[in-house]
Chains A and B, each alone.
Chain A
Amino acid sequence: MEFKPFIYNAKQEQIPVSIAPMTDADAQKTISAWQTAWTSDYLSDLRLEKYAAKLDEELIALGAYEILKNALVVHIAYMEAQPESNPTLDDGNPKYTGIGRLMIALGIKLSIDNGFAGDVILEAKTTALAKHYEKDFGAILLPTFQSSAPRYLIADDAAKQIFLTYLSE
């Protein structure tokens, strides 16, 4: 069995993609049209491991992950799809779907590979996003720390189900 990442096209067909560490060239591609310029200072923190999902040379998504060795979880710090498939930019007509689930699965894989058994955490900036994490990914709300943003945990069966999506012969 192998981890075989994929997304869906508009016909709901599975499209295999590759995952690799983000390069400077990938980051440069985001400067003009993406919601975020991945060359920005926010994303240059050395604690963040950044990965790119690609379909041949087409940049599909980028994700920034933080390996929290003391908490034994991977923090999915930020992820973003290409403009054509970004819900904020695609006018409800995405070129590809299933990108968020894939980038979470990558976080789960990083967690497994770092010895954290697949546990990942992530934050939700909006209530709608929080509901999406709960409903579609089985995320569980963690205790709230003072006035900080809600943090969610994806672990155990929820993490397994997401990861199994991408396991095949």
Chain B
Amino acid sequence: MNEPKRPASDAEWYCRKDPEADQFYEIFFKMCRKYHVSWCSASEKERLFIEEVSRVTYERDRATRLGLPVDSVRPAFAS
């Protein structure tokens, strides 16, 4: 008789590495510290600010690393 099949492990999903995501979150936490923003108690406006500063900083960093023009990065709060 076969053993009951055990559910698939989630370990692969949780332990996968995404270096770009790690880089983005590293910048995000630096921006929180730089602007003295506690994410848990930040206002919506503060969160939008930190999120956008982090995006622009990350995208400029990535462009530099890849040898792409940094002016290809969408400016902060531009539509």
| Residues in chain A within 8 A of chain B (CB atoms) | 33, 35-37, 40, 42-43, 45, 48, 64, 68, 70-73, 77-78, 80, 88-89, 121, 123, 125, 138, 140, 142-143, 145-146, 148, 151, 153, 155-158
Contacts and interface: CB of A to CB of B under 8 A. Distances in A.
A68 B29 CA distance: 11
B14 A77 contact: yes
Nearest to B8: A35
Given A71-B29, A142-B25, A148-B21, A40 B9 contact: yes
A45 B22 CA distance: 16
Contact of B6 (A33, A72, A121): A33
Contacts of A140: 39-40
B11 interface: yes
Contact of B11 (A36, A156, A157): A36
Given A42-B9, A71-B26, A156-B41, 7 more contacts: A42-B15, A77-B14, A125-B14, A143-B28, A145-B25, A146-B20, A155-B38
Interface of B: 6-18, 20-22, 24-26, 28-30, 33, 38-41, 47, 50-51, 54-55
A80 to B, nearest CB: 8
13 contacts: A35-B9, A40-B9, A40-B12, A48-B15, A68-B26, A71-B28, A78-B10, A78-B14, A89-B6, A121-B25, A143-B54, A151-B25, A155-B39
A142 B39 contact: yes
A72 B29 contact: yes
B9 A125 contact: no
A33 B33 CA distance: 44
Contacts of A72: 29, 33
A125 B10 contact: yes
B17 to A, nearest CB: 8
A73 B7 contact: no
Contact of B29 (A73, A77, A138, A148): A73
